[in-house]
Amino acid sequence: MKAKGILFTILSALLFGICPVLSTQSYQLGSNAMTLTLYREVMVLPLLLAALLLRRVSLRVTKRELLTLFLVGLFCRGATTLMLNIAYLYVGVGTATVLHFMYPVFVAILCRVFFQDRLSRGKIIALCLACAGVVLFLERSNGSNALLGTALALGSGVTYAIFMVAADKTCLRRMDPFLVTFYTAGAVVVGMLLADLPLGQIVYRLPPKAFFYTFLVAVGSSFLAVLLLQIGVRYLSATTAAVFSLFEPVSCAIAGAVWLSESFTLQKLLGSVIILGAAGLLAAAKPEVSPDSQEALNLLMSAQGFPHPPEEIEKNPGGTP
């Protein structure tokens, strides 16, 4: 299952990397960070609900689960998206994405401090290489708002790290990925609407092309990428999945070069090689969380959903909640 976890996480990263380019296209048509954050979640809710109904997954959650979903959705998923969308305006898509991708370091620190997760020598080396690769992606940014954009991009990395740790260490790990994404998306919608009451920043009338770009971002990042990431975390660990997600700045840089005519320099190429090398070190490492269980994958893809993480199914082959 480790190979499948790596594949799911990399596919998630590639989708996440392409979507910022689409976001900038919607900005040029009159959208803004709050508008994009709201509409991408609104558009994805019907898709998630349809997926849940087709798979006959119950929408019932306990009070504790609902509170966790709301907090994670609002202060992790929502805050991450909003801060990153604003950072694009101040430091550009490429720089903001790379700064955001300091989050594997934050994930490792959180898991070590709060959950006493052991960091092997290989993982420490991989994290150091990842940081070095990220640094090579950085470019000089001029303007009075550059510091604010940098702070927002790094802040999005912190909140995203908390999201990944929550997906691995809390009750969310036992829940169906579609259900987690549905409720966290709903929390973001509620939070954006409440925030707009005093701010009045959301643009409700946009050109059809802007809505089209927003829909692509919603399906790509808020639906497919988030679900693939959650599935990947189940078969790896939060720290390992975080480093494999470093494929995102590579795909973002390539997408920016193709569609936005951004430069893909030799420095960025070297950074890509180092990042991929860090991922390769983890691919060769021993699995940390989940054994190779075909029954776990079958249950995940079944109509009954995925009520338990893979290792719990191994202990309880009946899969009873």
Segment among 84-88, 122-126, 240-244 with least mean pLDDT: 240-244
pLDDT at 239: 65
Q: Kindly tell me if the per-residue pLDDT of 181 is higher than 70.
A: yes
Higher pLDDT, 160 or 293: 160
Tell me the pLDDT band of 218, cut-offs 50, 70 and 90. Answer: confident
Burial environment of residue 98 by CB neighbours within 10 A (0 to 12, 13 to 18, 19 or more): buried
Candidates 54, 98, 32; CA nearest to 303 is: 54
R_g over Cα of the chain: 19
pLDDT at 313: 39
What does 57-81 look like in DSSP terms, one character per residue?
Answer: ------HHHHHHHHHHIIIIIIHHH
Q: Kindly tell me if the per-residue pLDDT of 128 is higher than 70.
A: yes
Tell me the pLDDT band of 55, cut-offs 50, 70 and 90. Answer: confident
Q: What is the average pLDDT score of the chain?
A: 78
The answer to whether residues 109 and 158 touch, using CB atoms and an 8 Å cutoff, is no
The answer to whether residues 90 and 152 touch, using CB atoms and an 8 Å cutoff, is yes
Tell me the pLDDT band of 142, cut-offs 50, 70 and 90. Answer: low
**Residue 144 DSSP label:** T
- Count of positions (residues) in the chain: 321
The answer to whether residues 196 and 250 touch, using CB atoms and an 8 Å cutoff, is no
Segment among 52-61, 214-223, 283-292, 302-311 with least mean pLDDT: 302-311
CA–CA gap between residue 122 and residue 233 (Å, rounded): 19
- Backbone phi, then psi, for 225, in 5-degree steps? -65, -40
**What are the pLDDT digits (tens) for 262-293?**
666 788 778 878 876 776 676 565 544 333 23
**What are the pLDDT digits (tens) for 83-107?**
999 988 887 787 788 788 777 778 8
Q: Kindly tell me if the per-residue pLDDT of 228 is higher than 80.
A: yes
Residue with tokens 């990399």: 10
